[in-house]
Structure 1
Amino acid sequence: MSPKFIGLALVGALLFSCTGPSPKKAENKRPNIVFIMSDDHAYQAISAYDDRLIQTPNIDRIAKEGMLFTNATVTNSICAPSRAVILTGKHSHLNGKVDNRTPFDTTNVTFPQLLQKAGYQTAMFGKLHFGNNPKGFDEFKILPGQGEYYNPKFITQKGDTTVSGYVTDIITDLTLDWMEKRRDTTKPFLLMYLHKAPHRSWMPAERHYKAFTQKTFPLPETLFDDYKSRETTAGSAEMNILRHMQLSYDLKIPDSIAKTLDIKNWNNIGNRVSRLDPEQRAAWDAVYDPIAEDFARRFPEMNDSTLMVWKYQRYMQDYLGTIAGVDENVGRLLDYLDEKKLSENTLVVYTSDQGFYLGEHGWFDKRFMYNESFKTPLLIKWPNVITPNTTEDEMVQNLDFAQTFLEVAGVTPPEEMQGESLVPLLKGEKELWDREAVYYHYYEYPAEHAVKRHYGIATKEYKLIHFYYDVDKWELYDRAKDPNETNNVYEDPEYAQVVADMKQKLEELRKKYKDSDELTNGYIQIYKDNGWIE
C-alpha cells in the first residue's frame, strides 16, 4: 500500500471519528429495559422489605444496586386490570379493562407498541393473563390465561406448544434463549419477563416443596381480625383463610382424603396434579400424602383457632416455596446481564401486578384498597443514574410505568396517558415530583371473593375509601397511628377536618383522572347486560 493511500485512509478515519458513530451505534446507547413482574407477589415476601418470612437475595440485589420504593401502589388490585394499566398508562375506567371479565380493548395504544415503533426490539415471555396476540412485540411466548405450574402450554406467534418442566424455570429458559440467540445487538431492547408464580394455587418446584413444607412461619398480627367497625365491608369478603381457603385445591390435601372429612371448601385438586408426569407425581405424593394423612388424624381434635393456624402454615409453605423459585430465576437473568456486560446500560424493574394478603386480616387474595393488596413491591436499578441502595417513599403507582419507560427511551408519551414519569425520582430530583395523593378504583363485584366495589384516595398520612353499589359506606384510616388499618375513624369527630380535606382531594383526583359516577354506573350496567348481576 502506498504512503499516499495510507495517508488518505488515516484522514478518512479521523474525519469519521469526528462525525461520531454510525446511526446504529448511537441508537444502541439508549437504555435497554427489563421489566420483571410476578403475579400476586406480596411485598411482605421480599426480604428487602421484610425478612421475617423469606430471604430473596436475588430480588434484593436490584434494591442494593438501585432503589427500593416503599409507597408504590396499584390503581385496581386485580390481575388483568393491573396489567392493562401498566401497558396503557391509563386508569381502568379509561382503558376499559376494569375487571378480569370484560375484554381488553385492543385499540388502546401500549408502551411496547411505541417502543417498537421507536426502534426497540421487544419480547414478552410468561404470563400476560389477557389476549393471545399482544401488540408491539417482535416475539412472545405467553401462558394462556392463568397458565399451569407444571408442564405448561404456551401461545406463540407460530402456534401453541407445551413444554415439560416447572413454569418458573421454563419462562426463564425461554427468556435466556431469546437473549442469547435472537436478540439484535444493534438495537436497544424491551424485555417483559412475567412470572405466573406466586399465583394461586401455589405449586412449588420439587426442590422447594421438599424444603418449605418443613418450615414454620410467624403469625401475622391481624390473623384473627374481627372486622370491628368494618363489618359490612371487610367483614363480608369471602377470602378468609379459615372459612374460604379450599382444603384440596389450595392446601394440597388429596381428594380421596379431603372429601371424607367433615369440612367445607375441600374442593378438588385433581385438575392440577393431573398435569404432573409419573415421575413428578411420585415425588409430589411422597411429600404431600404424609402431610394429608397427618392432618386427617389431627382434624377431629382441631378447633377453629388451631385449624386457622394449620391452614395458614400450609398456605405459607407453598406460597413462599413458589417465591423461592422466582428469586432463583431472577438471579439467573441478572447474572446473564452481568456476564454479557449488558447491566451498565439496562434499566431493570421488579414488581408485582398487585400486593397480596399473607394472613393479614385473616385473608388470602387481594382486591381491597387496604395496605397489603394496595401496596406493591417496586425495585428499580439503573447503573450510573440511580444511586445504589437508596429508598424512596414518594407516592408512585403502576400507572407511572409506561411514561417512565417512554422517557427513558426518548419517546414522547401520548397525551391520554395519565401517569407521571419516575425518572426525576430515579435521578434523585425529588423537587420535580409534586404528587401528594393517588387514586384507586375496584370494580369486580358481585364476583369471586365478594369484595365490594370501592374507590378511594391515599396520601402518606391518610386513606379514604368509599364502598358503593349495594352499600354506601365510608372509611378513613390514619396510616401513621393505625398501620394495620383496623380502626375506621371516619365517624370520629377528631377527624372531621381530615375527612373534609380528603373528600375534597378525592373529588379533585376523580376530575383529574376523568372518573365519574356516570362512568361507574356504566360499568355496573355492563354487568347487568351480561347477566352477572340482576
Structure 2
Amino acid sequence: MADADTRPNVLLVLTDQERYDCSAPAGPPVETPAIDSLSSDGTRFDRAFTPISICSSARASLLTGQFPHGHGMLNNCHEPDAIQPNLPADLPTFSEELVAAGYDLTYTGKWHAGRDQTPADFGFSYLGGSDDHHDDIDAAFREYREECGVPVDEAELEAALYTGDDPRDGSDGTLVAAKTAVDVEDTRAYFLTERTIDAIEAHADGDKDGPFFHRTDFYGPHHPYVVPDPYASLYDPDEIDPPASYAETYDGKPQVHENYLAYRGVTDFDWDTWAEAIAKYWGFVTLIDHQLERILETLDERGLAGETVVVHASDHGDFAGSHRQFNKGPLMYDDTYRIPLQIRWPGVTDGGATCSLPVHLHDLAATFLELADVPAPDSFDSRSLVPVLENSGEPPESDDWRDSTFAQYHGDEFGLYSQRMVRTDRYKYVYNGPDIDELYDLEADPAELQNLIDHPAYVDVRRNMRNRLVEWMDETADPNRVWVTDALETAS
C-alpha cells in the first residue's frame, strides 16, 4: 500500500436528479458558483452519462463499478416490485476496497442502494440524513427539525403544484413543486451540509493516519421541488422559455412516451405550469450549490483543500418539462441520461479543462481506487479517469478510449420494459424491446425530436449503431445480448 501521506482525501458530492445543463456553459441561467468553481479549478466532463436513469440502479452501479445487469439491482429497491432489494453480499464495491486500503469512510444523506442494507454494510460510518420512504436508516433529520422548532410534517407549503387534472389540487396527485415557509437553515440540504462540515472538521482535528473519503448525497433537486425563499423566488417563471424539446409531438416515437404523460399525471400541464415548476427546480439547484460552497470553504479554512480531490456528479437527470415530461422513465433522452461531472484535483488537474471523452458515472468507482493505489476488481465495468485527469482532460496517447457510451433501462414502478442505448458524439440509438427503436442525429436535432430509425438516408448509420450496441452488450456480458443480437440481425 502506498504511503498514506501521499494519497489524497476524496470528497464525493452526489446530487439526486440534477440535469447536466444546469451547470453547463451554454445552459440555462442557473446560478451555480460552487460547481462553476470546480470546473474552473479542475476538469469538467461534458459527455458524462449515467448507466441507467433510476435512483437505486444508478447508485448501485456507482458503488459496484458495474452496469445494472451485472449487479442485479434493476429497479428501485424500496418498491414492492423490486427485482432485487439488496446487493449480493459478496459483490466487490469501491468503498470496501478503500476501507481495506486504510481510508476512513464517512457518509451522509440519501442512500437508496439497498432496502435492508445501509452504508455501514459497505464500510462507511453513516452520519445521518436519510428518510423512511427511501431508506429507513434513521430519523436524524426529523430530530434536527424538531430541535429547530419546525417539525417536518408541520411545515407549511405555498403555491404548491401537483400532478393530475388540477395542478392546485393535492387531493390525489403527486407534489411537484412548492415554496416552503421554513428558513434555509431548516432545509435538509443545510442539515446534510452541517453533517459534512462536521466530518471534515473531525478529520482535521483527529489523529487518524489514513486519508478520508467522505460522501454527501443531497436529496435534490429531485421532486418535489420544495425550497424556501430566497430560492423559491430567485427565478421568474415569466422569464423562462420553453426548451426546444417542448415542441415534442411523439410522432414516430414509441407509444410509451405519450402514455407516460398520463401515467405521470402531466397531460394537462401547460407551459405556465411547467415554468413555475422549473423555477423551483432551478432554485433547488442553486440552494444545493450554495451548500456545496460552504463545504468547499470549510476545506479551505481547515487547510485540507490542497490534499482533497473533490468530485461533483449526479445519479441521473430530470425531465423538468423537457419533452413535456415529468420525472423519468422509459425515455432515454439526454435530459435524464446525461449528467454533470466535475473533478478538482489540486496540483494535478488543469484549471478550466474540459474533457469531451464519453464516460460513465460508475467510472468513478475505478477512479477512486486508482487514487488510493488500489487495483480495480475484475468484476468492475469501470475505467479509471485518473489518466485523463493527469493529461488535461485528454486520453494518453497509448490509451484506446471508446467513442461511445452504453446505457440501459429495465423498468421501475411502471413494470419491466427492456431498453438499451448506445450514444456517440453525434448519434444515439435506442433499442426498445416492446416497440419501435429510436435513432437521433444529435448534430442536426439536439432536442431529439425526430426519430430517424426508418429514414432511408440513415441506413448505414442505423447499422453501425446497432453493431456498436451489440459490441457493448457482448463486452459487458449483458444477458439479453443473444436475443437482442438475433432481433437486430433480422431487422431491416
Same fold (TM over 0.5): yes
Which residue among 36, 42, 47 is the counterpart of 2:19?
42
Which residue among 407, 414, 418 is the counterpart of 1:440?
407
Per-residue Cα deviation, 1:72-125 (whole angstroms, up to 9, x for no partner):
001111111000000000111110111102312241221111101100000001
Tell me if structure 2 keeps the 8 A contact 1:120–1:188.
Answer: yes
Question: What's the CA shift for 1:161?
Answer: 6.4
Quick one: which amino acid aligns to residue 94 of structure 1?
G
Q: Aligned partners of 1:371 and 1:139: how far apart in 2?
A: 33
Alignment of 1:31-70 (within 5 A): 31-46=8-23, 48-70=24-46
Question: What's the CA shift for 1:338?
Answer: 1.3
Question: What's the CA shift for 1:459?
Answer: 1.3
Q: Aligned partners of 1:508 and 1:96: how far apart in 2?
A: 20
Q: Aligned partners of 1:354 and 1:55: how far apart in 2?
A: 20
Which residue among 428, 435, 459 is the counterpart of 1:463?
428
Q: Aligned partners of 1:160 and 1:226: how far apart in 2?
A: 43
Structure 1 equivalent of residue 350 of structure 2: 387
Quick one: which amino acid aligns to residue 409 of structure 2?
Y
Structure 2 equivalent of residue 105 of structure 1: 87
Q: Return 5+ residue gaps in structure 2 as ranges.
A: 77-81, 146-185, 485-492
Q: Return 5+ residue gaps in structure 1 as ranges.
A: 1-22, 246-263, 265-303, 522-534
Q: Between Structure 1 and Structure 2, whose CA radius of gyration is higher?
A: 1
Q: Aligned partners of 1:374 and 1:51: how far apart in 2?
A: 16
Question: What's the CA shift for 1:309?
Answer: 1.5
Structure 1 equivalent of residue 196 of structure 2: 175
Alignment of 1:59-458 (within 5 A): 59-100=35-76, 101=82, 102-107=84-89, 108-131=91-114, 132-134=117-119, 135-144=122-131, 155=138, 162-164=143-145, 165-181=186-202, 184=206, 185-212=208-235, 216-238=239-261, 244-245=265-266, 308-367=270-329, 368-428=331-391, 429-430=394-395, 431=397, 432-444=399-411, 447-448=413-414, 452-458=417-423
Per-residue Cα deviation, 1:338-370 (whole angstroms, up to 9, x for no partner):
122211111111111001113221112123321
Question: What's the CA shift for 1:130?
Answer: 3.3
RMSD: 2.6
Tell me if structure 1 keeps the 8 A contact 2:131–2:137.
Answer: yes
Distance 1:180 1:115, change over 3 A: same
Alignment size in residue pairs = 426
Q: Aligned partners of 2:233 and 2:240: how far apart in 1?
A: 16
Question: What's the CA shift for 1:238?
Answer: 3.2
TM-score by length of 1: 0.75
Structure 1 equivalent of residue 155 of structure 2: none
Distance 1:451 1:491, change over 3 A: farther
Question: What's the CA shift for 1:400?
Answer: 0.5
Question: What's the CA shift for 1:213?
Answer: 6.5
Tell me if structure 1 keeps the 8 A contact 2:47–2:338.
Answer: yes
Tell me if structure 1 keeps the 8 A contact 2:426–2:441.
Answer: yes
Identity %: 27
Quick one: which amino acid aligns to residue 363 of structure 1?
Q
Structure 1 equivalent of residue 476 of structure 2: 513
Tell me if structure 1 keeps the 8 A contact 2:420–2:431.
Answer: yes
Tell me if structure 1 keeps the 8 A contact 2:200–2:299.
Answer: no
Distance 1:370 1:113, change over 3 A: same
Question: What's the CA shift for 1:502?
Answer: 1.5
Q: Aligned partners of 1:520 and 1:353: how far apart in 2?
A: 29
Q: Aligned partners of 2:387 and 2:301: how far apart in 1?
A: 29
Q: Alignment partner of 1:394: what SS?
A: coil
Q: Aligned partners of 2:216 and 2:107: how far apart in 1?
A: 6
Question: What's the CA shift for 1:206?
Answer: 3.8
Q: Alignment partner of 2:457: what SS?
A: helix
Quick one: which amino acid aligns to residue 129 of structure 1?
H
